[in-house]
Amino acid sequence: MFAPGAGAIGWPPMVSYRTGPWMIRSAALVAAFALLMPVAVRAADATAGQTAFAKCKICHTLEAGGRSPVGPNLHGVFGRKAGSLDGYAYSATMKNSGIVWDDETLAKYLRDPRGSMPGNKMAFPGIKNDEELANLLAYLHQATQ
């Protein structure tokens, strides 16, 4: 004789949680969540970010103690107060911005340097593509430590 819960036909109802409506709802929730995640949280490609940095290296260097030819050296930029690197002549706007560089502040600034901080010296149109921007930030995390 079959006891309840022992898999007898009809008891308990045989519902697979790997297929059917539960699976579809779960997949839909995961997809919706992935689309709503901020850019910085999504997986980024540092190798592609190195390619994106080609636009930046015209003005910026990354190595510790590197020179600041046109723009400031970016070594140690994460956690650094904007406008504080010795040896570079920042605009008053940058010096007085109160910004500390992190993924969020860098993404906002790099997306639209002139619009996000009117009066700064960076003559760069910005990076509008979210994936390219995330990749660049991933590369900077590796290259500026």
Give me the DSSP letters along 34-75.
Answer: HHHS-GGGS---HHHHHHHGGGTTTT---STT---SSS---T
Nearest to 72 by CA among 137, 83, 117, 52: 83
Q: How far apart are CA 71 and CA 113, in angstroms?
A: 13
Q: Mean pLDDT of all residues in the chain?
A: 82
The pLDDT tens digits of the residues spanning 45-54 come to: 999 999 999 9
Residue 28 lies in a domain: no
The pLDDT tens digits of the residues spanning 109-139 come to: 999 999 999 999 998 999 999 999 999 999 9
* Number of domains within the chain: 1
Output the pTM of the full model.
0.69
Residue 14 lies in a domain: no
Whole-angstrom CA distances from 103 to 63, 110, 118 are 19, 10, 20
| 39 has a pLDDT exceeding 60 | no
Confidence of residue 69 (pLDDT cuts 50, 70, 90): confident
**88 and 72 Cβ atoms separated by less than 8 Å:** yes
Give, rounded to a whole angstrom, the gap between the first and last alpha carbons of the chain: 68
Q: What CATH code is carried by the domain that includes residue 133?
A: 1.10.760.10
At 113, phi and psi to the nearest 5?
-55, -45
What is the residue range of 123's domain?
A: 45-143
Q: What is the pLDDT of residue 37?
A: 46
Beta bridge partners of 81: 100
